[in-house]
A = this chain, B = another copy of it.
């Protein structure tokens, strides 16, 4: 039988060094500026904003609070349907809170990437909790974290 006393190898493998390093990178280190429109913005104008800012997802706010998100995929679905994109406001077609997956400045990018893969979204709003005048709690959008940010980070990790 094996003796119960002994020693453990505590040296770190290259892979565990990679894991430690990756988990030390925070969302605030790689996030981008968010693109936000109001709920009343017509779908067409929101699509134009999407192209002008060249982003994949637009976040929607009402009274300074995050209320929704619309992706390129959502817009495409609407654009080939019978919706009057010049009249219908983005607030009608968006995915509405609390069904938005969010991240925050001090979250490890690794955790945010797991959310992106698990929830099959392209981008997460980076948020901060805020309290409105009426005492209502909500989130303010301070950034966005997308698969593009993660791909850029991957390139940075690999470059000399």
Contacts and interface: CB of A to CB of B under 8 A. Distances in A.
B23 A158 contact: yes
B159 A44 contact: no
How many chain copies does the complex carry? 2
Interface in A68-103: 72-73, 75-77, 79-80, 85
Interface of A: 14-15, 17-23, 44, 47, 50-51, 54, 72-73, 75-77, 79-80, 85, 110, 113-114, 116-117, 120, 147-148, 150-155, 157-160
9 contacts: A14-B21, A72-B72, A72-B76, A75-B76, A79-B79, A80-B85, A113-B151, A117-B148, A117-B155
Max chain B CB contacts within 10 Å: which of A21, A80, A116, A160? A80
